[in-house]
Chain A
């Protein structure tokens, strides 16, 4: 595709349920990022994948959050035992190579609502 694709675009889930959010980066992009966007918190870095290197997980808020990237392409962000404070837009982004100097392209996001 022409851009970063994310699914689902909207997800409503009950508190305590697990959710999976998917990201298809731009073809050929080696770097992939997950961010969380919420009112008052801005853009919060979650995790970063670069090629075959170990991911930078320093932004994951708790052990309920995990992400994997299979085959260097598609990534899945999993939130276990969702809480209401997990409600946010989850943004995926990719770049051709890792930083510095490379433009990061964002997807449209997955809007998660935990009720």
Chain B
């Protein structure tokens, strides 16, 4: 069963516009959630994890247990944010990190 859902395959915004990449999960208990990013011709890399409660490259993500969501947000998109974004997670006791199907973000000039 899909544990992480990213409903949007493609999100296109203009430079300077706010961005929200949606992620919903179905893990039980206290899951650990991540966002990974893949820029063109680069490796997949960690962007941020919810336990760190940090902001990386202007992106933030808050775990909302009531809505079982972990949406990725940035107030002002930049062209260099264009990439493929994957939401991932694991539930308590599970050993492997699983991912959603990914959302491609296109930031237009």
Contact = CB atoms under 8 A, between A and B. Distances in A.
Interface residues of A, number: 26
B99 A42 contact: yes
Contacts of A100: 32, 51, 90
A100 B98 CA distance: 12
A35 B101 CA distance: 12
Contacts of A93: 44
Interface in A12-45: 33, 35, 40-45
Contact of A42 (B32, B46, B101): B101
B57 interface: no
A108 interface: yes
Interface of B: 6, 32, 43-46, 51, 86, 88, 90, 94-102
Contacts of A91: 44
What are the 3 tightest A-B residue pairs by CB atom distance, in nearest-first order?
A42-B101, A43-B99, A48-B96
B90 to A, nearest CB: 5
Contacts of B97: 33, 45, 99, 104
B95 A98 contact: yes
Interface in A75-115: 91, 93, 98-101, 103-108
21 contacts: A33-B96, A35-B99, A40-B101, A43-B86, A43-B102, A44-B99, A45-B96, A45-B99, A48-B95, A93-B44, A98-B95, A99-B95, A99-B96, A99-B97, A100-B51, A101-B51, A103-B46, A104-B46, A104-B97, A105-B45, A106-B45
